[in-house]
Amino acid sequence: MLKINRLSILVSCIFFSFYSFTQNKSKVNLTFFGSSVCKGYGAKNDQGYAWMFYNSNVIDTLKYKYYNVSTNGDNTIKLEKFDRLSKKLYPTKPKIVVIGLSLGNEGLRKQVDQNGREQVLEQFRSRLLRLSDSLYNQGIKPVIVNCYAHSLFDENHYRITKRMNEIINTWKYPSINVLGAIDNYEGKWVDGFVNDPWHPNNLGHKEMSYTIVPSLFDALLAGKKTPIYDYNPSYITLKNKKSEQAPLLLDLKNNTVHSFTLSFRFKKMEDGSIAGFVQGNKQNSISIKGFNLKYKTISVLFDRYKDKWNHLVLSHSFANKKSILYLNGVNIGEVEERLSPSKFYFGGTSKSIELKDLSFHRSSINKDEVINLFNKKIIQSSLDFFASLTKLTQDKKISNEAQSLLVLNIEKSQELILNNLEY
């Protein structure tokens, strides 16, 4: 009997050792590497947006191992001067590195003229890109946290911040639009979400954590690249014969969304809803009725019979309690509200509509970014879904071209017609 017990114990130990080895071997080291905001300063127990995201049940913590080796006050110069890579980053053996640095620490506020501010921008741009390229060339996948707010920024600092984020959006590395979650539209932290001029408080960190696409890291490991705009003029005609409310549906499956942006191009629609979202059990729709385009209290004249593409953007800032509707790059109305939708949809009760460039961001975009979208520039920061609609899969599905694994569900009764055009 004793021999059997000893054998059982031995077998159990071998099994446990093998299980532990395989589990550790399969871990993907995810390292956050930046300055004090990335470290979590201002949040309760310094458990900021990085920690909040990792512990929010949206990613597999058995698959990913979390590290945060950020250092208060760091900038692109200090990373090199104090050899942060060799001393802090590389010992974590990262597969993915989230870089969270700021223009504030880079010295932007110390510059008294535009030339000085331009030099700080170039210093930050060139050194951040070089760091990202260096990591990428070593087989490490970089993710960049966009530049964010500062309560002592003025309009000149804000302009530089937005320009730097625009530049980051042109790189081949994915990025996270934290500015859109806590920007008061002037480059400062929103009241109620600020700890001090340099840092958000716990609520501010929470808003920033929601801007990280939940499946981003899985998509990176699967080899998905940052999307580029497809200038092919092809498009989709959606025939919604039964006037289903949500014919093309994004179900977020309880992954919390606060700030968001929904955008698409459309033409030749019939009366009815053309897009919207679900909050609780309530439908919130953008619709066309007669010669009016409507969203809640917003109603503007709209000539739906013109055979031309229109670009619509609904940008919601949870912190600012505001939704802004843009048509062809122009602000056409605002609604005071605070939202947290669970589902988004394109198309609607309109029985026919032609569509292109469907996108969903997990952050609010500003008016400059709206114009960039209108001008067919990709904003890949916090982009959770993008479909150019210039093609369909073999089984007539719509592929997600963003660095995300979010799936667009197509209502069974829908007819998708590809209008395949040549350049």
Same domain for 131 and 181: yes
Last residue of a domain, one of 181, 212, 243: 212
| Secondary structure (DSSP) of 87-154 | IIIGGG--SEEEEE--HHHHTGGG--SHHHHHHHHHHHHHHHHHHHHHHHHTT-EEEEEPP---TT--
Same domain for 290 and 145: no
Tell me whether residue 266 is in a domain.
yes
DSSP conformational letter for 202: H
Same domain for 284 and 147: no
Find the angle CA(175)-CA(30)-CA(51) to the nearest 5 degrees. 80
Angle between helices 155-168 and 367-374 (to 10 degrees): 40
Please tell me the total count of domains within the chain.
2
Q: Which helix (H) or strand (E) holds 22?
A: helix 2-26
- How far apart, in whole angstroms, are the C-alpha atoms of residue 176 and residue 288? 33
Provide CB contacts within 8 A for 84, sequence distance 6+.
33, 69, 71, 74, 78
Same domain for 156 and 44: yes
Same domain for 401 and 252: yes
Same domain for 290 and 183: no
Same domain for 32 and 174: yes
What is the value of pTM for the model shown? 0.92
Tell me whether residue 19 is in a domain.
no
User: Each residue's pLDDT tens digit in the chain (423 positions)?
Assistant: 444 455 444 444 444 444 444 444 579 999 999 999 999 999 999 999 999 999 999 999 999 999 999 999 999 999 999 999 999 999 999 999 999 999 999 999 888 889 999 999 999 999 999 999 999 999 999 999 999 999 999 999 999 999 999 999 999 999 999 999 999 999 999 999 999 999 999 999 999 999 999 999 999 999 999 999 999 999 999 999 888 899 999 999 889 999 999 999 999 999 999 999 999 889 999 999 989 999 999 999 998 777 899 999 999 999 999 999 999 999 999 999 999 999 999 999 999 999 999 999 999 999 999 999 999 999 999 999 999 999 988 777 899 999 999 999 999 889 999 999 987
- How far apart, in whole angstroms, are the C-alpha atoms of residue 232 and residue 389? 9
Q: Which structural domain, as residue segments, surrounds residue 320?
A: 235-419
Tell me whether residue 268 is in a domain.
yes
Same domain for 292 and 156: no
**Closest by CA position to 284, among listed 242, 339, 240:** 339
Same domain for 353 and 293: yes
Q: What is the CATH number of the domain that holds 43?
A: 3.40.50.1110
Angle between helices 114-137 and 155-168 (to 10 degrees): 30
Q: Is the dihedral of CA 236, 241, 245, 246 positive or negative?
A: negative
Provide CB contacts within 8 A for 212, sequence distance 6+.
49, 53, 176, 362, 382
